[in-house]
């Protein structure tokens, strides 16, 4: 077990160093090219809307898996290294590291809150949105004055990986919960490889906040109240973390079953067998687990 853990740690350290050393073309990082010279130039209507914000100031460049649209190289260079790291991290976690995908994802990086607000309004996004994945494109605000950028980029990259390899049929709680869970772990791994003592934090859900499974598992849209959106994300991440901690292999089976359209109770029984004798037992165990903060 110890050797296995050390092996995983060495893999992510080596992966980080390889990406940092070989990802970007040239010593100066990303090499801007005209939009019409990009290998993958197709943009959705939302992507075209993004480029209407300060249209003369956008720069464009490519890495192995992504096309970047950005304003400042010093912001985009770090984002490029992180995005490639997160892509490989999540692909490996989901046993998809050896599966290829020809199209590149597009990442649009906004640096000014005023530019992001203009895009939010034009694209009709929810006002609380700090980033979004839509049809192989990622849009996010990444401020130059914030040293620690957080796990938002990893969250959206995780959505992209899920969409590529599992489609769009996942329940909302699983899609968002796994994106939170994987991106927190990937973000901590990225900084541990650089000498920081980083651990993924998972804040709990109090009894007063807890959303009953009868409504939570079937939600197809986000809550209308901003405070409940935060609870939804936390409870989703805690449920994914609980399932993965209980049995990682069974959780990946559950993930595939739900992506195929199975109901939660049937998918849980087929993936975890007799681990949970009843659905009520499953909810009780999770509710206790969800109430406590975690850092590991």
Domains, the chain, with CATH or none: 2-168 (3.40.30.160), 203-295 (no CATH)
Mean pLDDT of 142-164: 87
| SS3 of residue 24 by DSSP | coil
pLDDT number for residue 145: 78
Residue 8 predicted with pLDDT over 70: no
Reference 151, options 123, 120, 118, 181; nearest CA is 181
pLDDT band at 135 (very low <50, low <70, confident <90, very high): confident
**C-alpha span between 74 and 29 (Å, rounded):** 9
- Neighbouring residues of 51: CB distance < 8 A, sequence distance ≥ 6: 43, 58, 69, 108
Buried b / exposed e across 160-184, counting CB within 10 Å, b at 16+?
A: bbbbbebeeebbbbbbbbbbbbbbb
| Token pair recorded at residue 111 | 């640096």
Which tokens belong to 97?
């590291």
> Could you tell me the pLDDT band of residue 181, with boundaries at 50, 70 and 90?
very high
Looking at residue 261, the DSSP 8-state letter turns out to be T
Instruction: Judge whether 124 and 54 are in contact, CB under 8 Å.
Output: no
Arithmetic mean of pLDDT, 149-156: 89
pLDDT score of 284 more than 60: yes
Distance CA 56, CA 265 (A): 52
pTM: 0.85
Q: Is the confidence at residue 24, as pLDDT, over 60?
A: no
CA angle 104, 109, 110 (to 5 degrees): 155
Residue 29 vs residue 248, higher pLDDT: 248
Residues 293, 201: contact at Cβ < 8 Å? yes
CB under 8 Å to 194, separation ≥6 — which residues?
Answer: 16
What local confidence, expressed as pLDDT, does residue 148 receive? 60
- Mean pLDDT (whole number) for 274-282: 94
- In which band, very low, low, confident or very high, does the pLDDT at 197 lie, cut at 50, 70 and 90? confident
The mean pLDDT of the chain is 88
180: pLDDT strictly greater than 50 = yes
- pLDDT for residue 214: 87
pLDDT tops 60 at residue 74: yes
Residue 3's pLDDT is: 42
Q: What is the pLDDT of residue 100?
A: 75
Asked if the model's pLDDT at residue 51 lies above 90, the reply is: yes
Whether 104 and 40 have beta carbons less than 8 Å apart is answered as: yes
Across the range 83-87, mean pLDDT stands at 95
Question: For position 226, what pLDDT does the model report?
Answer: 85
Q: Are strands 201-202 and 137-141 parallel, antiparallel or unpaired?
A: unpaired
pLDDT at 28: 55
Structure confidence at residue 19 (pLDDT): 45
């Amino acid at each position: 077990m110890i050797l296995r853990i050390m092996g995983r740690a060495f893999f992510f350290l080596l992966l980080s160093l390889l990406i940092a050393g070989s990802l970007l073309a040239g010593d100066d990082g990303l090499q801007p090219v005209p939009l019409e010279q990009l290998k993958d130039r197709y943009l959705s209507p939302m992507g075209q809307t993004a480029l209407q914000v300060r249209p003369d100031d956008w720069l464009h460049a490519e890495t192995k898996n992504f096309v970047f649209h950005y304003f400042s190289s010093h912001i985009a260079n770090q984002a490029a290294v992180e995005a490639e790291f997160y892509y490989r991290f999540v692909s490996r976690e989901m046993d998809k590291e050896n599966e290829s995908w020809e199209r590149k994802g597009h990442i649009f990086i906004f640096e000014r809150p005023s530019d992001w607000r203009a895009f939010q309004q034009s694209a009709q996004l929810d006002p609380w949105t700090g980033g979004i994945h839509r049809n192989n494109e990622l849009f996010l605000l990444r401020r130059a004055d914030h040293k620690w950028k957080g796990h938002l980029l990893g969250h959206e990259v995780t959505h992209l990986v899920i969409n590529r390899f599992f489609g769009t049929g996942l329940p909302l709680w699983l899609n968002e919960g796994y994106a939170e869970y994987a991106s927190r772990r990937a973000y901590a791994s990225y900084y541990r490889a650089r000498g920081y003592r980083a651990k993924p934090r998972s804040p709990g859900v109090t009894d007063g906040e807890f959303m009953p499974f009868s409504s939570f598992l079937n939600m197809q849209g986000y809550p209308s109240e901003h405070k409940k959106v935060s609870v939804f994300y936390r409870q989703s991440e805690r449920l994914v973390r609980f399932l993965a901690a209980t049995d990682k292999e069974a959780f990946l089976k559950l993930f595939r079953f739900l992506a195929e359209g199975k109901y939660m109770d049937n998918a849980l029984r087929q993936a975890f067998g007799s681990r949970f004798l009843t659905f009520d037992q499953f909810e009780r165990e999770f509710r206790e687990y969800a109430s406590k903060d975690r850092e590991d």
